[in-house]
Amino acid sequence: MRLRSGDRSTVDMAAVRVALAAVEDPELHLPLADAGMLGEVEAARDGTVRVTVRLTTPACPLKETLVRDVTAAVGAVAGVRRVEVRFAAMSEGDRMALAARLRGGRETDHPFGPRSSTQVYAVASGKGGVGKSTVTANLAVALAAAGKRVGVLDADVWGYSMPHLFGVRRAPVALKGLMLPVEAHGVALMSVGFFVDDEEPVVWRGPMLHKAIEQFLGDVHWGEPDVLLIDLPPGTGDVTISLLELVPDAQLVAVTTPQPAARTVAERVGRMALDARMPIAGVVENMSTLVCGSCHASTPLFGSGGGQQLADTVGAPLLGQVPLDVAVREGGDAGTPVVLAAPGSPAARELSRMAAGLPVVRRSLVGRPLPLSVV
Q: What digits encode the pLDDT tens for the residues 236-276?
A: 777 778 888 888 889 999 999 999 888 988 999 899 888 88
Tell me the pLDDT of the chain averaged across its residues: 87
Q: pLDDT band at residue 29, thresholds of 50, 70 and 90?
A: confident
Q: What is the pLDDT of residue 156?
A: 87
Q: Does residue 74 contact residue 68 with C-beta atoms inside 8 Å?
A: no
pTM above 0.85, yes or no: no
Go through 4-14 and write b for each residue having 16 or more CB atoms within 10 A of its CB, e for each that does not: eeeeeeebeee
Choices 3.40.50.261, 3.30.300.130, 3.40.50.970, 3.40.50.2300: CATH for 13-90: 3.30.300.130
CA-nearest of 136, 131, 339 to 228 is 136
- Tell me which CATH homologous superfamily contains domain 119-356: P-loop containing nucleotide triphosphate hydrolases (3.40.50.300)
Q: Comparing 302 with 347, which gets the higher pLDDT?
A: 347
The closest of 214, 160, 146 to 189, measured between CA atoms, is 160
Q: Residue 253: in which H helix or E strand, if any?
A: strand 251-256
CB 358 within 8 A of CB 319: yes
Residues 77 and 358: their CA atoms lie apart, in Å, by 43
Of 22-36, 105-119, 306-320, the least confident: 105-119
Q: 334, 280, 287: which is closest to 312 by C-alpha?
A: 280
Given a cut of 70, whether residue 199 has pLDDT beyond it is no
Q: How much is the average pLDDT of 58-63?
A: 82
Domain ranges of the chain: 13-90, 119-356
> What does DSSP assign to residue 193?
G
What is the band of 4 on the pLDDT scale with cuts at 50, 70, 90? very low
Question: What band does 128 get if pLDDT is binned at 50, 70 and 90?
Answer: confident
Average pLDDT over residues 284-295: 86
Residue 306's H or E segment, with its range, is: helix 306-314
pLDDT tens digit sequence for 312-352:
999 999 999 999 989 999 999 999 999 999 999 999 999 99
